[in-house]
Amino acid sequence: MTVDFEHVRGQPGARSRLEALLGADRVPHALLLEGPEGVGKMRAAQTLAQILLCANRPRPTAACGGCGACHKLAAGTHADFSVITTDARTVKIEDIRAAERALRLRPVEGPRRVLVFEDVHRVTLGGQNALLKTLEEPPRDTHLVLTTSRVRWLLPTVVSRCQRVAFGPLSEAELAAVLQSDDGLDAGVAQLVAALAHGSLGRARAWDVETLVARRDRVAELDAALEPTTGAGLTAALRGAQELAADRAELTESLDLWLVWLRDQLVTALAVEQTVASADRLAELEAGAQRGPREILHRARAVLEARRQLDLPYNLNAQLVAEQLCLALAGHGRMVPVPA
């Protein structure tokens, strides 16, 4: 089966750039694929490596998928291909030096070696300086493909030694289409997941969909219950906060869902021609839209402030953040901003 960049979804600019380099046989010794997390950078890097190492390319921009080199790449046993990746927060200088020693060796199975370095922004400053030597004096017949979602964390000298290829977030429509065609999600669920993923296919695929929908449903119920005009009591607000804050990570996700839910209410209230993420709950959205745009935006600002506070380095108590939010939404006070 032919392997090409068609598998990298929603990145026409990046794909065209890589195909142009391959077509002109001008792939540089160092490429930096930069963009948000989960948008296809690693898949593009691995595809590029396979095309470069394929022994029987059907065309300059594709690998055959059937030769010995392609089979070894698929199995992860190709001697001239390696990936540096880590779950650790940083990559140390010793790791870089070991990779450099491997790169200095001559290719074993083909005409070139390819090293893919995932999340190169994790490399310490000492490691980046060590990597700089290889970038300045690259071994012959060697390609380094670096990926990053934090280009500002890299030394300017490292960035300047690479040709940069930009990847962008996918649109909600693109994400929803991929999730329907490739992952088999129904249209409504795909739209909800796409709205939360902020353009990242990797993030979208990391969620358990049933859990996500159940959490959205709970957020919708809580939003309706914490309505000042219905006289929602202190007890109901505090009970809702306790449920939300049982797990900090789940609270963060619930607030993201809440923002999408309020955005859908605003779209409904304004009657604009935009797709809502929760099309399966139109009756509840229309009920919430009766609050009017001003009140919906007021509630959205409160949820957004709570979400921001959870990301602050102070490690604020999640229970207190949730209590302040639920009380504010029920009309018993307001979200007090916390300085960054």
Q: What is the CATH number of domain 5-166?
A: 3.40.50.300
CB 155 within 8 A of CB 132: yes
CB 223 within 8 A of CB 258: yes
Q: Which pairs count as long-range contacts for 286-295, CB under 8 Å and 24+ apart, including other chains?
A: 287/224, 288/223, 288/224, 288/261, 288/262, 289/265, 291/265, 293/266, 293/269
Q: Which residues pair with 59 in a beta bridge?
A: 62
Q: What is the CATH number of domain 208-329?
A: 1.20.272
Angle value at C-alpha 275, between 269 and 279, nearest 5 degrees: 80
Nearest to residue 117, comparing CAs of 129, 99, 102? 99
CA separation for the pair 73, 82 (Å, rounded): 9
pLDDT at residue 255, rounded to an integer: 96
Q: What is the mean pLDDT of each run of 10 residues along the chain (340 residues)?
A: 90 96 95 95 96 96 95 92 79 78 81 92 88 87 94 95 96 92 91 91 91 94 85 81 92 95 96 88 94 96 95 88 94 86
Q: Where in the chain is the domain with CATH 1.20.272?
A: 208-329
Report DSSP letters for 214-263, one per residue. HHHHHHHHHHHHS-GGGT--HHHHHHHHHHHTTSHHHHHHHHHHHHHHHH
pLDDT at residue 319, rounded to an integer: 94
pLDDT digits (tens, 9 = 90+) for 134-188: 898 888 889 999 999 999 999 999 999 999 999 999 999 999 999 999 999 998 8
Q: Where in the chain is the domain with CATH 3.40.50.300?
A: 5-166
What six digits make up the tokens of 314? Answer: 């102070």
pLDDT at residue 259, rounded to an integer: 96
